């Protein structure tokens, strides 16, 4: 079925044609079974990699690892506020170079799925919307509103034109085969009434109007107007069917793990459960599946949104935050992908027949051109089942799917992992003599609280007789906004002689209060409770003007929910002084309608640029009397880049909360003093049963994020500068730089499989700590021998692997010799240590 009209030719400029003349155009269409590329039905296995969450220097490697992991497509959102942070001031440089990212996908020979949005959610600041959009007069976001729609159209058109100009759509020979407009609008459409409905129709028309000859999707949009394809997002999408019977069954977000809030533990979604969900989706006729995320990466700068989302966006994805293989997840899925792709023709063309065995056990047979392929799925959480298929019996473990590409041989079971598990380690920075953290040399300088007493330091200043929404005032150019006022007690006689409490009601996210320049208290909310009241006992001076300075700090703006864009942030009031609180003569003086002066940002940051590589002000730093537990302070140090190519992190243990820069690059907010609660972690993790974000947690009682990624491209060999702005008070004395690499590798693999063992970063296997082929038991770190084994296993593996960065073993009696066991299937368990050669 061809789905596109002829209008494309009109917008396809001569310039773009010349640019892509050598690329091979691909005709994209679809039917209810799936996408067709040049009329060939295809399975698409895709993974999300968001270009601004890594660096251009990392993109090639991430995409290569995605391809090696068996993906044939990469998906990304487009981040409007990254590209147009200020009205009509565009940025497509560095890690915002969308064209370069898409071309890197193309160079790797993969397809691209472009989710333009431009609302994206994504745990990204303000869901991707620029705050200037919210500040436009008469605007209402994500609904039938001309001011908004004109802006949305301008941005989407800019992106579509840019992709066309560079020949990046499939019909031009580019990699983009699918595009998305809006994002999960169906979840909130009810809140916008009839306007929501007409808005979504308008979105569909806008998408179609570009004539770019790719299918457009709308995820979680059960009323998607044809020809928009409604797609599924979630942990399991096997039971999903699109609203239009002519649409294929597509899964845009298979959540490979979950994101993290400050104060949260580390969530883990097991490889077995993820593979189970994928296998079931293909069993039940799905044909496009995307991991959200395949590489989560890092929320650099102030891009984390939510609020209270951590700087790390690791997501427990198949590639970890730094781009390392997250094993065994990466390897277990790779084997599944290769198998599914080998069945592409039968899955996209075959006649499908389902068999219900009862007890949540199901079978599916695909038949095409005299061949057949089978799936056996067991969705029961506790019980393994043995069933008969074409005359043979098969045992399918609980919560797993077996795939038999010829309906006789089980080639894959989602609960049986035959890939290496890698235990990552952090190594000291050997390039630097300062391997001990307290040997780093620190300079510091204070950030003085603003106060009306001394006249507000220059910068962006506004006044109003009311408490203003923080993002409206800052236009989101900074996390920091000073709310400043003053009062003369003689004009408020009612307070005379009373104990005074300062009462501040805020919508979040952090408040530091100063009275006459003295800190009187700090408080913050959590992702569940953004709004809070801070009350502090204070002392005021009689007969003099008292200054009240409130520093309100945002930790990323709201990104999700109906009308999320209208949620106020900052001190919305009331701000009151309460005399003799709780007593019979209690009095209140409301300061909310006082004259308030607003100062955007910090003096050290906005005016002095202390964080910049070539800071305008070098003087004023002290190298003596290094303070700890001091509020509002700048620290800086220099360090050498760790040798080698392994990813670099800085351990910020000991610090409170703030922002960190390396050589002028903002590596994100830090908050190691926000510790996850002690309860709810498990040492073992049962993959069986539906995933939820309380399952398989680790990191209880530890900082929710202690290590912060410094991409290699931010570093030079020597003389690197780390600048920290510390907001709460802490000590930099425990700060140190480390690299992350494979420390221990483990695997248990069934016989007749190939096993690849691999260290990384030039490190090699220095010791085989355990090896047994037969009936070994236990888990990584505590494997035990069974009653029988092939006696040569250790020496064979030592011979093949010691001193190597990687080695591949043929797991069989041919390799290791006879086991003397009487099992049906033997297993190999091996544990090795990776070290510098
Ligand atoms: C989805 C959304 C994504 C992301 C995800 C959670 O609802 O579409 O952008 O926010 O949730 O990680």
Separation of 601 CA from ligand 1 center, angstroms?
A: 30
Q: Does residue 703 lie in a domain region?
A: yes
| Cα–Cα dist 465/225, whole Å | 48
Q: Does residue 399 lie in a domain region?
A: no
For ligand 1, atom 6: residue with the closest CA: 122
For ligand 1, atom 9: residue with the closest CA: 122
Q: Are residues 257 and 124 in the same domain?
A: yes
Q: Does residue 689 lie in a domain region?
A: yes
Owner of token pair 């299937």: 825
Q: Band the pLDDT of 243: cuts 50, 70, 90.
A: very high
pLDDT at residue 334 is higher than 60: yes
Q: Residue 557: name the closest of 119, 95, 193 by CA.
A: 119
Q: Are residues 597 and 612 in the same domain?
A: no
Choose between 494 and 204: higher pLDDT: 204
Q: Band the pLDDT of 295: cuts 50, 70, 90.
A: very high
Q: Are residues 187 and 270 in the same domain?
A: yes
Distances (CA, A) of 317 to 145, 269, 697: 38, 9, 15
Length of the chain measured in residues:
837
pLDDT at residue 533 is higher than 90: yes
What integer best gives the mean pLDDT of the chain? Answer: 94
Q: Does residue 542 lie in a domain region?
A: yes
| Cα–Cα dist 237/252, whole Å | 10
The one catalytic residue among 75, 182, 189, 253: 253
Looking at the DSSP bridge assignments, the partners of residue 737 are: 650
**CATH number of the domain that residue 142 is part of:** 3.20.20.80
Separation of 56 CA from ligand 1 center, angstroms?
A: 24
Burial (CB count within 10 angstroms: exposed 0-12, middle 13-18, buried 19+), residue 396: buried
| Cα–Cα dist 263/828, whole Å | 40
Q: Band the pLDDT of 306: cuts 50, 70, 90.
A: confident
Last-in-domain residue among 680, 706, 739: 739
| Cα–Cα dist 729/629, whole Å | 4
For ligand 1, atom 3: residue with the closest CA: 122
Which of 73-77, 344-348, 580-584, 820-824 is predicted with the least confidence, judged by mean pLDDT? 820-824
pLDDT at residue 638 is higher than 80: yes
Q: Are residues 70 and 217 in the same domain?
A: yes
Q: Are residues 646 and 556 in the same domain?
A: no
Q: Does residue 675 lie in a domain region?
A: yes
Provide the residue range defining the domain that includes 824: 751-835
Rounded to the nearest 10 degrees, what angle do helices 193-209 and 146-165 cross at?
20
**CATH number of the domain that residue 798 is part of:** 2.60.120.740
Instruction: Identify the helix (H) or strand (E) that includes residue 283.
Output: helix 271-283
Q: What is the pLDDT of residues 597-629, one digit of tens each?
A: 999 999 999 888 999 887 666 788 999 999 999
Separation of 49 CA from ligand 1 center, angstroms?
A: 13
Separation of 75 CA from ligand 1 center, angstroms?
A: 13
Position 460 scores a pLDDT of: 79
Average pLDDT over residues 429-437: 62
Q: Does residue 648 lie in a domain region?
A: yes
Q: Is the peptide bond before 466 cis (omega within 30 degrees of 0)?
A: no
For ligand 1, atom 4: residue with the closest CA: 122
| Three-class DSSP category at 95 | helix
Q: Band the pLDDT of 436: cuts 50, 70, 90.
A: low
Instruction: Among 128, 220, 258, 292, say which to mutate for ligand 1: greatest number of ligand atoms within 8 Å of CB.
Output: 292
Position 22 scores a pLDDT of: 54
Q: What is the pLDDT of residues 33-64, one digit of tens each?
A: 999 999 999 999 999 999 999 999 999 999 99
Atom of ligand 1 nearest to the CA of 123: 10
| Three-class DSSP category at 149 | helix
Distance, CA of 579 to chain centre: 47
Position 459 scores a pLDDT of: 76
Separation of 122 CA from ligand 1 center, angstroms?
A: 5
Q: Are residues 662 and 552 in the same domain?
A: no
For ligand 1, atom 10: residue with the closest CA: 122
**Do 204 and 182 meet the contact criterion of CB atoms below 8 Å apart?**
no
Q: Band the pLDDT of 542: cuts 50, 70, 90.
A: confident
Separation of 234 CA from ligand 1 center, angstroms?
A: 9
Q: Are residues 513 and 627 in the same domain?
A: no
- Per cent of the chain over pLDDT 70 is 96
**CATH number of the domain that residue 722 is part of:** 2.60.120
Q: Band the pLDDT of 735: cuts 50, 70, 90.
A: very high
For ligand 1, atom 5: residue with the closest CA: 122
Our count of domains for the chain comes to 4
DSSP 8-class letter at 108 = T
253 a catalytic residue: yes
**CATH number of the domain that residue 456 is part of:** 2.60.120.260
Residues 6+ apart with CB under 8 A from 704: 260, 261, 262, 263, 264, 265, 310, 671, 674, 675, 676
pLDDT at residue 16 is higher than 60: no
Q: Are residues 589 and 647 in the same domain?
A: no
Q: What is the pLDDT of residues 369-394, one digit of tens each?
A: 999 999 999 999 999 999 999 999 99
Instruction: Among 79, 123, 237, say which to mutate for ligand 1: greatest number of ligand atoms within 8 Å of CB.
Output: 123
| Three-class DSSP category at 203 | helix
| Three-class DSSP category at 162 | helix
For ligand 1, atom 11: residue with the closest CA: 122
| Cα–Cα dist 219/375, whole Å | 27
Q: Does residue 672 lie in a domain region?
A: yes
Separation of 121 CA from ligand 1 center, angstroms?
A: 6
Q: Does residue 384 lie in a domain region?
A: no
Q: Band the pLDDT of 12: cuts 50, 70, 90.
A: very low
Q: Are residues 216 and 320 in the same domain?
A: yes
| Cα–Cα dist 206/186, whole Å | 18
Atom of ligand 1 nearest to the CA of 120: 9
Q: Is the peptide bond before 311 cis (omega within 30 degrees of 0)?
A: no
Residues near ligand 1 (Cβ within 6 A): 120-123, 183-184, 233, 253, 259
**Do 638 and 649 meet the contact criterion of CB atoms below 8 Å apart?**
no
Position 357 scores a pLDDT of: 96
Position 439 scores a pLDDT of: 78
Last-in-domain residue among 576, 601, 626: 601
Atom of ligand 1 nearest to the CA of 122: 9
Q: Are residues 700 and 802 in the same domain?
A: no
Q: Are residues 566 and 624 in the same domain?
A: no
Last-in-domain residue among 601, 631, 646: 601
Q: Are residues 130 and 109 in the same domain?
A: yes
Atom of ligand 1 nearest to the CA of 77: 9
Q: What is the pLDDT of residues 217-226, one digit of tens each?
A: 999 999 999 9
The one catalytic residue among 123, 184, 189, 344: 184
pLDDT at residue 18 is higher than 70: no
Looking at the DSSP bridge assignments, the partners of residue 49 are: 295
Position 430 scores a pLDDT of: 77
């Amino acid at each position: 079925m061809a789905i596109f009209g002829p209008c494309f030719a009109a917008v396809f400029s001569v310039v773009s044609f010349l640019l892509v003349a050598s690329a091979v155009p691909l005709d994209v269409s679809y039917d209810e079974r799936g996408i067709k590329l040049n009329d060939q039905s295809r399975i698409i296995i895709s993974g999300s990699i968001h270009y601004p969450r890594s660096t251009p220097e990392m993109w090639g490697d991430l995409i290569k690892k995605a391809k090696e992991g068996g993906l044939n497509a990469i998906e990304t959102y487009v981040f409007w506020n990254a590209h147009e942070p200020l009205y009509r001031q565009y940025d497509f440089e560095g890690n915002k170079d969308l064209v370069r990212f898409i071309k890197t996908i193309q160079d790797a020979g993969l397809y691209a799925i472009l989710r333009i949005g431009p609302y994206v959610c994504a745990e990204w600041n303000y869901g991707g919307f620029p705050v200037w959009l919210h500040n436009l007069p008469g605007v209402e976001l994500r609904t039938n509103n001309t001011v908004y729609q004109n802006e949305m159209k301008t941005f989407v058109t800019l992106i579509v034109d840019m992709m066309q100009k560079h020949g990046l759509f499939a019909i031009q020979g580019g990699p983009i085969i699918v595009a998305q407009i809006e994002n999960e609008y169906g979840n909130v459409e009810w809140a916008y009434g009839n306007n929501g409905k007409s808005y979504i129709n308008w979105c569909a028309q806008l998408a179609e109007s570009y004539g770019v000859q790719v299918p457009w999707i709308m995820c979680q949009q059960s009323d998607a107007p044809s020809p928009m394809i409604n797609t599924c997002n979630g942990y399991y999408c096997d039971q999903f069917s699109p609203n239009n019977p002519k649409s294929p069954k597509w899964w845009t977000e298979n959540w490979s793990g979950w994101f993290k809030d400050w104060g949260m533990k580390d969530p883990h979604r097991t490889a077995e459960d993820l593979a189970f969900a994928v296998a079931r989706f293909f069993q039940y006729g799905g044909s496009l599946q995307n991991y959200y995320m395949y590489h989560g990466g890092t929320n650099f700068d102030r891009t984390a949104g939510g609020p209270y989302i951590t700087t790390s966006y690791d997501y427990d994805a198949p590639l970890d935050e730094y781009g390392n293989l997250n094993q065994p997840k990466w390897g277990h899925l790779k084997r599944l992908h290769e198998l599914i792709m080998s069945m592409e023709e039968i899955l996209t063309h075959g006649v499908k027949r389902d068999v219900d065995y009862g007890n949540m056990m199901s079978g599916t047979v695909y038949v095409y051109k005299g061949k057949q392929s089978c799936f056996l799925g067991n969705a029961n959480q506790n019980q393994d089942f043995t069933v008969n298929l074409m005359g043979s019996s098969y045992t399918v473990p609980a919560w797993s799917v077996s795939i038999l590409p010829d309906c006789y041989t089980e080639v894959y079971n989602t609960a049986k992992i035959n890939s290496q598990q890698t235990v990552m380690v952090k190594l000291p920075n050997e390039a630097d003599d300062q391997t001990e953290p307290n040997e780093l040399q620190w300079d510091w300088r204070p950030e003085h609280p603003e106060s009306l007493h001394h006249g507000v330091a220059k910068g962006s200043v506004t006044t109003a007789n009311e408490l203003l929404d923080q993002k409206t005032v800052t236009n989101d150019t900074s996390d920091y906004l000073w709310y400043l006022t003053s009062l003369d007690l003689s004009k408020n006689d009612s307070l005379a002689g009373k104990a005074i409490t300062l009462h501040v009601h805020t919508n979040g996210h952090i408040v530091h209060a100063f009275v006459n320049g003295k800190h009187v208290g700090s408080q913050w909310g959590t992702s569940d409770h953004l709004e809070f009241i801070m009350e502090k006992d204070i002392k005021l001076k009689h007969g003099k003007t008292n200054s009240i300075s409130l520093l309100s700090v945002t930790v990323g703006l709201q990104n999700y929910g109906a009308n999320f864009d209208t949620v106020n942030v900052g001190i919305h009031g009331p701000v009151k002084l309460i005399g003799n609180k709780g007593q019979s003569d209690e009095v209140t003086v409301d300061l909310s309608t006082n004259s308030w002066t607003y100062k955007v940002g910090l003096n050290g940051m906005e005016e002095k640029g202390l964080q910049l590589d070539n800071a305008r002000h070098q003087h004023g730093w002290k190298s003596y009397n290094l303070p700890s537990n001091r509020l509002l302070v700048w620290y800086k140090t220099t360090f050498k880049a760790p040798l080698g190519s392994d990813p670099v992190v800085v351990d910020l243990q000991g610090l409170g909360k703030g922002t960190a820069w390396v050589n002028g690059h903002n590596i994100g907010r830090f908050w190691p003093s926000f510790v996850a609660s002690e309860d709810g972690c498990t040492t073992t993790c049962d993959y069986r049963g539906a995933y939820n974000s309380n399952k398989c947690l680790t990191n209880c009682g530890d900082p929710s994020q202690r290590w912060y990624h410094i991409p290699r491209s931010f570093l030079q060999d020597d003389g690197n500068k780390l600048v920290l702005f510390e907001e709460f008070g802490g000590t930099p004395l425990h700060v140190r730089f480390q690299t992350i690499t494979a420390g221990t590798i483990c695997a248990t693999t069934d016989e007749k499989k190939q096993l690849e063992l691999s260290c990384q970063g030039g490190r090699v296997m220095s010791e085989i700590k355990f090896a047994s082929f037969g009936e070994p038991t236990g888990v990584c770190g505590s494997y035990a021998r069974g009653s029988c084994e092939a006696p040569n296993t250790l020496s064979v593996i030592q011979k093949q692997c010691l001193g190597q960065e990687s080695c591949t073993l043929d797991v069989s009696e041919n390799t290791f010799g006879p086991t003397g066991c009487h099992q049906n299937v033997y297993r190999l368990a091996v544990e090795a240590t990776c070290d510098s050669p």
